[in-house]
Structure 1
Amino acid sequence: MHGRTQLLEPKVMTMLIVLCEHANSIISAEELFKQVWPHSIYSPNSVRRNIALLRKALCDDDKKLIKTHPKRGYSLQAIISSLSSPADAKIYTKPKVNNHKIARYVTVLCTFIFLVITWVIWQNTPASQQTVNNLKPITASKAIEHYMRVSPNHDHMAIIRSESHQGTDKHIYIKDLKRKKTWKITKEAQNYTYLAWRNANSLVYSASHDSGIEFGQILLDDGLQSTQQTQLIRRSDISWNSPFFIDKKQQLFYLANINASEHSRNVTLYQHNLISGEVRKLLTPNDTFKPYKISLSPQQNKLAVIGFNADSISVVKTFDIKTTQFEMIKALDHNWYFLTWQQDQQSLLLSNGKDLSLLHVSGDWQPISYNNYHFLQYIQAVAGKLYFLERRTDEDLYLANRTDVSNIKTISDSNNVDTSAAVSPNEQMVTYISSKNGIPQLFLKELDSNNESIIFDNHAQELALAPPVWLNNTHLISALNNRPFVISLLGNNVNIKWVDNLLGIPLIVLENDDTFIYVDKSAQGDWLYTYNLSTTQKQPLHEQLNARQLFKNEQQQLISASNNTIENISTKTKLITVPGAKLRVFPSKNGIYYRSFKSNKYQLGFYGYKSEDVKPQHELATLCEQVCDQLQAVSDSYYVLSKKVSQADILSLEISHEE
């Protein structure tokens, strides 16, 4: 394609051959699988994966080249012409394929211009393309890596690590990238969140506590062993901070807010002088631009800042530290991104967790060919290498019958994330989010027949899909990157209707099933509103979400759970104070099941609405004795359970350019 060589996996190449042989006609997924994997059991996921890889290789982002025909199959919309004899170009006709001829087809295919759709290739092929290759593991253990930064001399890496995904037993380690040795430099575990090198012998870290955020410092000797750990700053006015950066003038740059989340719009960009202690607000909360990640340029004169605009689209800007002026680079899409400067300070590398892309300061944005099937985060470009954390999660869903907890039914058991299961009011169906096809989608499972179908296919391939909420037995609501939509399940039809005048996440359906409570994402503050689907009217509740769990009781009153307290918001009454931490609640018709963490283990209890007393739940404790946080929800007849296994390691890629 215009002199550019694109390497394809053998199965992807075989699929391309089959599609070429059926050019401009539809071939079913089953037939594709049969011809590419002739001696295997049919797997639609394998077909989808290879189609996705093929589209990426052919720059077919809008899916006009390889078209999907729902419930029918795929078609290649192309004219196939001979490279050696363009005057004799024809539509390639359909010969029969068998495995013995694959090698010959590959040879023949190499002599063809197999995709002559000039405008697609021309628009998507830059003169110079950046590539990544030579994937290498930096860490590979059962421990969970949470964050990392490479040292100023590029020889070492500081890592935040824990032995489990629970999150409070974190330590900071140093890894020698040349000698492959790793050692711990902290004595006591804390909930460390991020870190940065202050100089070659000093690290600054942030840690989250119940009372706020601590910034501390670890001094290191010439062998990078810890000599002293001290607290630098303690802020009780914030409960969340972003990854941060330190320049040569000892200025600390970070985002922070009081809502314990980067998903809230009331985010402030701070500049904190580590010598004088002076704090400046470089950007205060506003409704037009909500930043969520920053990156300090190699020359340390600019910050790259990415955040959501008023339409919930990720926008990249540069911030000149000297003039304090923002300059727009580009509006991207509705996904979240991690970002890092490249050494030339003329471009940024971006990751939405799934794909890599290159953004030039001129605004030119192009994909980088790298296929990742896990979650890629916290990228850092250093000396021709890209370091990143790859998070791998396998979460499966189950239903346990409340009258017989030994009777457990599997809802979904894939090799990817299956989560956020919700049982329908009549308890005949379960809907859940799964990324088994490479992107988050909504699935529906009928409990009697065990039939399963996709009810929201997420053709836009955006990555933030909100947990589904049932409005009634035929309608449910969710949101894709803060844009709500209603799914109608009437008869055999599935219809999607977007709620165009809202930007937020649905939380709770009220008694009249056309009204729900949502958290507003169009403005700062995470304010709660009700919205009526029939009248399109919204009403403020004059309450903020504030990192709380919210649900309703049998009297349609609003209940909240946060820290270690459960209270009735409607009556301003405190219901329960639970000893321990990590409070999580599971509302039911008659009361509240809750989980807390004390004495290094989970404990389960129940608060009855009528009796107003608290009882331990030995049945659930037995059911969850190994992983007690696997309880997800409670319905009249079922406990919704999940089993989650997480792993996170640090990897590297080499960055190169191709003309």
Structure 2
Amino acid sequence: MTKQYWVGEFYVDLSRNQITQNQQPQVVAPKALSVLTYLAQKQGEVVSQEVLLSKVWPETVVSPNSLQRCIAQLRKALGDDGKEQIYIKTHSKQGYSLECQVKWLSDSEQVPVQVDTDSSKHHVAPANHEHASPNAVVYLNKKRLLLFILVILCSFVGAHFARQDEPQLFSVGEIRALTASDGKEFASIYSPDGNYIMFHRFSEEECVNNIWAKNLTTKQEHKLTEHIDSYGSHSFSPDGKELVFIRTMNCEKPITQKKCYQLMSMEFAKALKAPQPMNILLECKNSEIRSPHWLNNNNIALLQRESTQWQLISYSPDKNESRIIHNVTDGNIIYYDYSPKDDLFAVISIHADSQHYIETLTSSGELLSSNPIIFTPEARRHINVYANFSPIKDHLIFSTGRQFFTLSFDGTVRNVSMPLDQPAFSPSFHPDGSKALVIKGTFDFDIAAIPFTELSKAHNKLDDYIVARSTMSDNTGILQPGGSLLALSSDRSGEDQVWLYDGHTTIQLSNFPIDSDISAMKWSHDGTDLLVSVNNQLIQLQLDGKQTQHHTQHPIIELLHWDKTGHIALAFANVRGTKKLMEYDLKTNEAQLLTDKRVNWADKSEQGQLIYTDHMDRFWLSGAIEAEQITALNGYGADEQQFIIKENTIFGTNNKRELWSYNLINGALKILGKLPSNFSNISDIDNEKIVIRARISAKKEVVELVMK
């Protein structure tokens, strides 16, 4: 069959994986072009998902998300926004069709490569893009052929020498699943000798985890910890004999924080034979610690936070003392990694100029380099960069989900192509650099709407109250004021998008780019549009899909409240690397810091009063001079829970999963019922029902990427 054809005004060249319009080629993934080609063969006909999956991925089991991503790539290449659907049309519950005219080229009409002598690059240059007749095709004569060969030779030689200076990007030859259980695995690393992998296995029921090891030769798994608990990331001693990690627990007598942190160690060889007790190296009751790395000098590096700022410290177990290695004045440290091979730190931070920086330091804290990070458009959508050392000299690697990027010490970010169909965390490399571990998988959360009168029934039969069921992660679900719609954020199409559910049909409203992250959304008071915090921005969505971006002074972490009439948005923002509670005037772009306290949640009452919870889960009500604590709600805050204010009443849950209400006018506190065991958080509420997010299942596993 021909490898070149026209779709409307777009020239498709399968031999080069390109779609060209007006001599501007775009490289498109081969599978996406295979989907387009099959639709072109069936031009005007509706082709089901099942048929497309069987034709494009024969004898291969893939999820419908792979097809949906191909459709999204094609629509982007064809300039089709997915709403008007001029080229590729979606037929609900039926499939897809290609609606525009297709012209197949015969062998004599095939368009050759034309050389651009100014740019010294070869590209496809179709002649008359309406008909592409044989007379319009320009063939290379002998002179042009010689010129073409000369250019190719020069390009080859130039590329050869350029490759001596520029690092080669990663190429994955094989993907191996290393764990497969009903639990959820994360925090995977190799042992220093590369013979074992370490990982955490999480219990959904108890929301805690155990530390496990797996022998890569025998495939035998070993549970290392005696008791399930809340353990953080781990690191090996240089000789591989000990393992260090952080345990998080509730403080017995909270003073400045609810959680206390212990730096623990255990003997690895003994733990392989039987679960071992742990040694407490360090305990923090008034500061937070995370991300331990055992250094070559036998000290342990940690990130420590007092109040809001993180600093990199070095702790000596032998001397039981610590010192600061690095901090950022008027900024904050986001992440760091340590290379035992080079005895080197790489620190990601945000400075006073609000820019991200990559800094390298010796283990003693000597600053070797400090450069602003130059993001690609795809990588810029994400606030925090969690980059790890890679086998490429002077380069780290990080992930934003299904997209991977290299980050050089000079701040340059480059895209890396990795064949992953599900989101994955940043790789952790084998000591010899030949392979890497990633955590890959999905969550399944659903939105449930439960009438207050049936809370006791829903405790045992939650499935009866699920709305807009999917097998992916359905997140926020909010009720339309004065209407019948439910707006929800979900990645059911492969990307996090806003959807509208009318009680029967779910329709995609937004068309955000790949690896988008929706943190929250709010309806306007009249129910005519939505404000969404997505990719660090505030986007206003109308019900016809039209969108408007509101520019703010800082990257937005989460939208908390929206007053459309007053042009006011309350949000958590990233201010020089620190989460701050800010109020934005969307008309003037003015910003106001509302409190210096660490805040977990905030909203406004009907009278415009600010209510928030602090890092101790205490409730506060703003006043004329200072905030007043709502002492009646002491003990009613819950870890990482959101609360809702409706008609001057706060609704929330406590750690017993009890739903409660508190009237801000008369101070009445009521227990309304108990929520199901797989309840995750409250989404919305009205006079008749509560909308919650329910945890159905989670599949996270350790996967090994073998490099070519």
Q: TM-score, normalised by structure 2?
A: 0.72
Aligned partner of 2:171 in structure 1 is 131
- Shift of the alpha carbon at 1:230? 1.0
The separation in 1 between residues aligned to 2:17 and 2:475, in whole angstroms, is 39
Correspondence for 2:80 among 61, 68, 75: 68
Rounded Cα–Cα distance in structure 2 between residues aligned with 1:89 and 1:66: 17
Q: Counterpart of 2:484 in structure 1: which amino acid? A: Q
Equivalence for 2:423: 375
After superposition, the C-alpha distances for 1:6-36 in whole angstroms (9 at most, x for unaligned) are: 99999645325358889xxxx8895797984
2:468 corresponds to: 412
**Inter-partner Cα distance in structure 1 for 2:362 and 2:634:** 48
- Using the TM superposition, give the Cα deviation of residue 556 of structure 1 relative to its aligned residue in structure 2, in angstroms: 3.2
Residue 172 of structure 2 aligns to which amino acid in structure 1? V
SS of residue matched to 1:224: helix
- Contact residue 359 and residue 367 of structure 2 kept, 8 A: no
Say whether the 8 Å CA contact 1:395–1:419 is kept in structure 2: yes
Q: 2:264 aligns with which of 216, 222, 225?
A: 216
CA apart distance, 1:655: 1.1
Comparing 526-535 with 11-20, greater Cα deviation is found at 11-20
Question: In structure 2, what residue type is equivalent to 1:392?
Answer: T
User: d(CA) in 1 for partners of 2:411 and 2:637?
Assistant: 49
2:445 — aligned with what? 395
The alignment status of 1:629 with 2:680, answered yes or no, reads yes
Q: Could you say if the C-alpha distance between residues 331 and 593 of structure 1 is closer, same or farther in structure 2, counting changes exceeding 3 Å?
A: same
Aligned to 1:596: 654
User: C-alpha distance in 2, partners of 1:246/1:433?
Assistant: 40
1:523 and 2:576 correspond: yes
Q: Which of 475, 480, 490 does residue 434 from structure 1 map onto?
A: 490
Instruction: Give the whole-Å Cα distance in 2 for the aligned partners of 1:511 and 1:73.
Output: 36
Separation in structure 1 between the aligned mates of residue 523 and residue 113 of structure 2, nearest angstrom: 58
- The equivalent of 2:361 in structure 1 is 319
Say if 2:280 is the partner of 1:231.
yes
Please name the residue that 1:174 is paired with: 213
* Contact kept? 2:17, 2:29, Cα under 8 Å: no
1:268 aligns with 2:311: yes
Deviations along 1:28-62, one digit per CA (max 9) or x if unpaired, are 8957979846999xx9966532245779xxxxxxx
Mapping of 1:388-537 within 5 angstroms?
388-402=438-452, 410-446=466-502, 450=504, 452-459=506-513, 461-472=514-525, 473-489=527-543, 492=544, 494-504=546-556, 505-509=558-562, 513-523=566-576, 525-537=578-590
Report matched runs for 1:604-643 at 5 Å: 604-618=659-673, 621=674, 624-629=675-680, 631-643=682-694
Q: Secondary structure at the match of 1:392?
A: strand
1:498-577 aligned within 5 A: 498-504=550-556, 505-509=558-562, 513-523=566-576, 525-544=578-597, 546-561=598-613, 563=616, 565-570=618-623, 571-577=628-634
Residue range with higher mean Cα deviation, 133-142 or 574-583: 574-583
Kept in 2, the 8 Å contact 1:311–1:522? The answer is no
Structure 1 segment 133-172 matched on structure 2, within 5 A: 133-164=173-204, 166-167=206-207, 169-172=208-211
Indicate the SS of the match to 1:468: strand
Measured against aligned partners, the alpha-carbon deviations of 1:156-190 in whole angstroms (never above 9, x if no partner) come to 122222322653x3222222221111222222332
State the alpha-carbon separation in 1 of the partners of residues 357 and 45 from structure 2: 37
Superposed displacement of residue 559, structure 1: 2.5
Deviations 1:515-571 (A, max 9, x none): 232223223553323223344433332343x25222334443332345454443443
1:598-645 Cα offsets, whole Å, 9 max, x none, are 4xxx33333344553433323xx2xx3342435432123331122322
Q: Which of 9, 14, 37 is residue 34 of structure 2 equivalent to?
A: 14
Deviation, structure 1 residue 286: 4.3
SS of residue matched to 1:338: coil
Give the Cα separation in 2 of the matches to 1:608 and 1:181: 56
The residue type equivalent to 1:191 in the other structure is S
Structure 1 pair 293–564 and aligned structure 2 pair: CA distance change class (3 A): closer
Mapped contact 2:401–2:515 kept (Cα < 8 A): no
State the AA in 1 paired with 2:319.
S
CA deviations on 1:218-261 (whole Å, 9 max, x unpaired) are: 123467345552111112332352x33222102322334356xx
Q: Does 1:306 align with 2:348?
A: yes
Q: Distance in 2 between matches of 1:180 and 1:443?
A: 43
Q: Contact 2:476–2:693 (CA<8 Å) still a contact in 1?
A: no
Q: Does the aligned pair in 2 maintain the 1:148–1:157 contact within 8 Å?
A: yes
- Output the CA distance in 2 between the equivalents of 1:379 and 1:197: 17
Unaligned regions of 5+ residues in structure 2, if any? 1-12, 19-26, 57-62, 89-99, 115-123, 132-151, 252-259, 459-463
Residue among 226, 234, 243 paired with 1:187: 226
1:519 match: secondary structure = strand
d(CA) in 2 for partners of 1:542, 1:358: 37
Residue 635 of structure 2: which of 578, 591, 595 is its match? 578
Deviation, 1:287, is: 4.9
Aligned match of 2:327: 284
- CA distance in structure 2 between the aligned counterparts of 1:380 and 1:451, rounded to whole angstroms: 42
Q: Which amino acid in the other structure matches residue 635 of structure 2?
A: V
Tell me the equivalent position of 1:58: none
Give the letter aligned to residue 219 of structure 1: E
Name the structure 1 match of 2:390. 342
Preserved CA contact (<8 Å) 1:400 1:640: yes
Residue equivalent to 2:337: 295
2:338, 2:344 within 8 Å by CA — same for their partners in 1? Answer: yes
Conserved 8 A contact 2:243-2:265: yes
TM-score, structure 1 normalization = 0.77
Q: CA contact under 8 A between 1:66 and 1:76: conserved in structure 2? A: no
- CA distance in 2 between partners of 1:529 and 1:200 (Å): 46
**Structure 2 counterpart of 1:648:** 700
| Bigger mean CA deviation after superposition, 398-407 or 214-223 | 398-407
The 8 Å contact of residues 244 and 294 in structure 1, kept in 2 or not, is answered as no
Partner of 1:352: 400
Query: Do the aligned residues in 2 keep the contact of 1:147 with 1:161 (CA within 8 Å)?
Result: no
Name the CA distance, whole Å, in 2 between partners of 1:553 and 1:437: 35
Equivalent residues in 2 for 1:47-58, closer than 5 Å: 47-51=67-71
Q: Deviations over 1:192-217 (max 9, x none)?
A: 11110113210101122334321111
TM-aligned CA deviation for residue 653 of structure 1: 1.2
Measured in 2, the distance between the counterparts of 1:10 and 1:462 equals: 20
Aligned length: 597
Q: Equivalent pairs: percent with the same residue?
A: 16
Q: Distance in 2 between matches of 1:580 and 1:452?
A: 33
Contact 1:149 1:380 in 2 (8 A): yes
Look up the SS of the partner of 2:272 in the other structure: coil
Superposition RMSD on alpha carbons, in Å? 4.4
Q: Using the TM superposition, name which of 211-220 and 271-280 deviates more.
A: 271-280
Residues 67 and 154 (structure 1 numbering): CA distance in 2 closer, same or farther, change over 3 Å?
same
Which residue number corresponds to residue 60 of structure 1? none
Could you say what secondary structure the match of 1:431 adopts?
strand
Q: Which residue of 1 aligns with 2:435?
A: 385
One-letter amino acid of the structure 2 residue matched with residue 334 of structure 1: R
